[in-house]
Amino acid sequence: MKKRPSMNIGAAILFGIFGLLFFILMVRFVTIQVTGEAEGKVLASQAAEKYIKSRILEAHRGTIYDQKGEVIAEDTSAYTLVAVLSPTVTSDPENPKHVTDPEKTAKALSGFIDMKESEIYKKLTSDGAYQVEFGSAGRALSHQLMLDIKEEKLPGITFRKEAKRFYPNGTFASHLIGFAQKTTSDSGQTETTGKMGIENSFNDLLSGKNGNVEYKSDVWGYLLPNAEEHVTPPQDGKDIYLTIDKKIQTFLEEAMNQVQKQYKPKKMFAIVADPKTGKILAMTQRPTFHPDTRAGLEDNWTNTIVEETIEPGSTMKSFSLAAAVNEGKFNPNEAYQSGTYKVDNVPNPIRDHNGGDGWGSISFLEGVQRSSNVAFAYLLDRIGFEKFEGYLHDFGFGEPTNVGLPHEASGSILYHYPIEKYTTIFGQGTTVTPLQMIQAESAIANDGKMMKPYVISKVVDSNTKEVVKETKPEVVGTPITKETAEKTRKYLESTVTSEDGTGKRFAIDGYSVAGKSGTAQIPDPETGGYKYGKENYLFSFMGMAPADNPQLIVYVGVQEPELKVTEIGSDPVSDIFKPVMQNSLKYLNIKPQEKVSLKKEQIPDLSGMGVEKAKSAIEKSGAEPVVVGNGSEVTRQLPQPGSELLEGGKVIIRTDGDITIPDMKGWSIRDVFKIANIAGLKINMVGNGFAVSQNIQPDSPVNENEPLVVNFKTPEEQLQREKEKEVSEEERPLN
């Protein structure tokens, strides 16, 4: 049979088409074989992406220890909750590997994690999702909570194990240590990053470097038989040992908590340091926060001790005194007229804190003990403006200590005009950081050698235990001589032991204390001036013990506490200083001294003696005689003969003539009582603190049973009165 021509043509066309297709396929095959690419993509990489799996081997973040190896911050196991939604993972319907009942699962999980049942249900019913997580509510779960959820036997609910930063001591030097938390990088990888404090400053050292593992798998992700694993091990972070001592830090935190509860101050800070080395043994502040939960962090992100500046108030007088002693300009027995000091071309004089009344003509040592601003104004004249400015720099003010913590402030020496130079010498105007004060104080405590403060003791390789870096004590200056330091400590000790000393509340049983209290004004941002009122000050004390060879410095500041009528600003400060200093000294096995107060002498029997002879006998014993009456013979005395009296205490002598009353301004309540007792007067006291006025004129004759009215004011009340007087004088119209 003859074939039709049309059939031949059709066959030829089909042959051509199939031939062309075969040619294209061959060309495509050869091209792929030669280039290894398809549609511009490397086939090997696509295969690797599908069949070569990898996972991160997370580096262990370095542990932070105290100086004795007690853990302060460490990594611990935590778990992330994961719900698998895709049915493709289930091969056996009897044992499902995915969530089969979203409603039941949501209800069960809501009892374990901080997420509403409706929100959990919404996640469990996400369209097309292979698996889901539950945000922060499902992360950082404890091992016990993970076990509790597993007990529910919920299909599709699984966990991913990971490291979590843990702070076993809770609120513990929180602003110094800081905290670390999980963050997600741009590449989608999760890593732990320090956010503040040591965790942030030394993040690179602590973090280490993650490793990974690669292996060949089948299409479902399972490891192929005999497949090789390629492992890049992680490099764990370095361990950091701090100078902090956990025991001393605990003493400090407990004392701060107690004062916070009782007085509710706006702010507080406290530091304990070793003056021999510069080690910071403890430091904390309020407000503070819990590093695990971050509760309280919103109240204050700033490390007050390092990043904020303050006007130090009278604690600055410690260094002013040291400068005067070093220059040979301080004669403790020389007298000056207290009360006020006039600065040229300045309308308002410098006043002592009792409203400018002063205490008459007193010695410079008593001026130090009473914290007289006028005494230090006179001392500045003797030292000289330029010379004293040099001491400010020598003590490290105006420059950061370079302790190694972020955002350290420098402070500012306000020293341009004469009035600023006078106010600087007694701690007003010029600003400092608490850490600068610790550094400067170390020069007085450490025989003239000023030690750089530091908080990092050493850095250790966590695997080899090799010390990578170690901090050694560093002398950063010698602003004063050893002899000056010894004398200054002796004078500062008298502010605590003297009957007239402003540091009496800081005496500690068994240990001698040298130091200086301070009542610093607080700037008022609303008025541009300073705040007024009994409580509106930064009350502080910086002391060292034992005074003759200090082993510890403790600096405490309490701002705007809530005080009762009978309380003064030194009360909350001493409630921190005293227990922390005493407990820390005992913990360090520093034995208490047998006698720690000024020399005590037995008061001789003065009966029948002539007045001048009696006065001489009292002065020889180191006490101060006060004569009541204008006679020539002693008839009575207080304290009684044989009593012990601290050096510098008052002995009241009554004579056989008419009774007269001395000027009692600045006297303590105890000494005023002695006068009333020995003179037989009916006393009426108004207020607390020290005497500021009396109804009977000094040296006027009085009769027994006559009323004696004495007004008392605390140093803070007297300072407020001084400021109000300044304001009224400024507002007074000029003639």
Hey, is 350 helix, strand or coil? strand
User: What gap in Å lies between CA 132 and CA 135, rounded to an integer?
Assistant: 9
Decide if pLDDT at 1 tops 50. Answer: no
Greater confidence (32 vs 390) lies with: 390
Q: Which position has the token pair 């990594």?
A: 75
Structure confidence at residue 500 (pLDDT): 86
For residue 64, give the 3-state DSSP assignment: strand
Is a pLDDT exceeding 60 seen at residue 44?
no
CATH of 600-720, one of 3.30.10.20, 3.30.390.10, 3.40.50.720, 1.25.40.10: 3.30.10.20
Q: Is-contact 317 427, C-beta < 8 A?
A: yes
| Closest-CA residue to 704 (of 612, 628, 640) | 628
584-634 pLDDT, tens digit per residue, is: 999 999 988 765 444 566 778 888 888 888 888 888 777 788 888 888 888
Rounded Cα gap, residues 286 and 252, in angstroms: 12
- Inter-CA distances, 487 with 271, 479, 589, 612, Å: 24, 14, 26, 32
**Phi and psi dihedrals of 371, rounded to 5?**
60, 50
Determine the Cα–Cα distance for residues 707 and 680; give it in Å rounded to an integer. 10
Evaluate whether 54-242 and 600-720 have a shared fold: no
Q: Tens of pLDDT along 469-479?
A: 999 999 999 99
Rounded to the nearest 5 degrees, what angle is found at the Cα of 437, between the Cα atoms of 589 and 73?
Answer: 60
pLDDT surpasses 60 at 82? yes
Residue 305 token pair:
């001790």
- CA 34 from chain centre, in angstroms, equals 69
Look over the chain and give the mean of its residue pLDDT values, rounded to a whole number. 86
Q: Please report the pLDDT score of residue 441 as a whole number.
A: 98
Measured between alpha carbons, how far is 355 from 728 in angstroms, rounded to an integer? 13
pLDDT for 164: 83
Count of helices and strands (H, E) across the chain = 21, 35
239-287 residue pLDDT tens: 999 999 999 999 999 999 999 999 999 999 999 999 999 999 999 999 9
For 278-299, the pLDDT digits (tens) are 999 999 999 999 998 889 998 8
Token pair listed for 530 = 């300073």
* Confidence check: pLDDT of 710 > 90: no
* 313: number of Cβ within 10 Å: 23
Q: If you classify domain 246-587 with CATH, what class do you get?
A: alpha beta
Verify cis geometry, omega within 30 degrees of 0, for the bond prior to 287.
Answer: yes
Cα–Cα dist 560/573, whole Å: 11
- DSSP category for residue 642: T
| Rounded mean pLDDT, 62-79 | 92
Encode pLDDT of 675-700 as tens digits. 888 888 888 878 776 788 888 888 88
Cα-Cα-Cα-Cα torsion 355, 359, 362, 367, nearest 10 degrees, comes to -40
314 is catalytic: yes
The catalytically annotated residue of 201, 314, 371, 442 is 314
Q: What is the pLDDT of residue 240?
A: 97
**How would residue 719 be classed by pLDDT, with cut points 50, 70 and 90?**
low
Residue 46 has pLDDT above 80, yes or no: no
Least reliable range by pLDDT among 338-352, 389-403, 500-514, 644-658: 644-658
Distance CA 278, CA 244 (A): 12
Q: What band does 730 get if pLDDT is binned at 50, 70 and 90? A: very low
Least confident of 81-95, 386-400, 420-434, 546-560: 81-95
pLDDT by residue (tens digit) across 5-14? 667 777 778 7
651 versus 311: the higher-pLDDT residue is 311
Residue 504 has pLDDT above 60, yes or no: yes
**How is residue 454 annotated by DSSP?**
B
Cα–Cα nearest to 517, from 578, 564, 574, 450: 574
In the chain, the N- to C-terminal Cα span, in Å, equals 144
| Rounded CA separation 536/519 (Å) | 10
pTM of the shown model: 0.73
**Contact yes or no for 554/734 (Cβ under 8 A):** no
- The answer to whether domain 54-242 has CATH 3.40.30.10 is no
**Using 50, 70 and 90 to split pLDDT, how confident is the model at 234?**
confident
Which of 87-96, 109-118, 181-190, 726-735 has the highest average model confidence (pLDDT)?
Answer: 109-118
- Indicate the domain borders of the chain: 5-53, 54-242, 246-587, 600-720
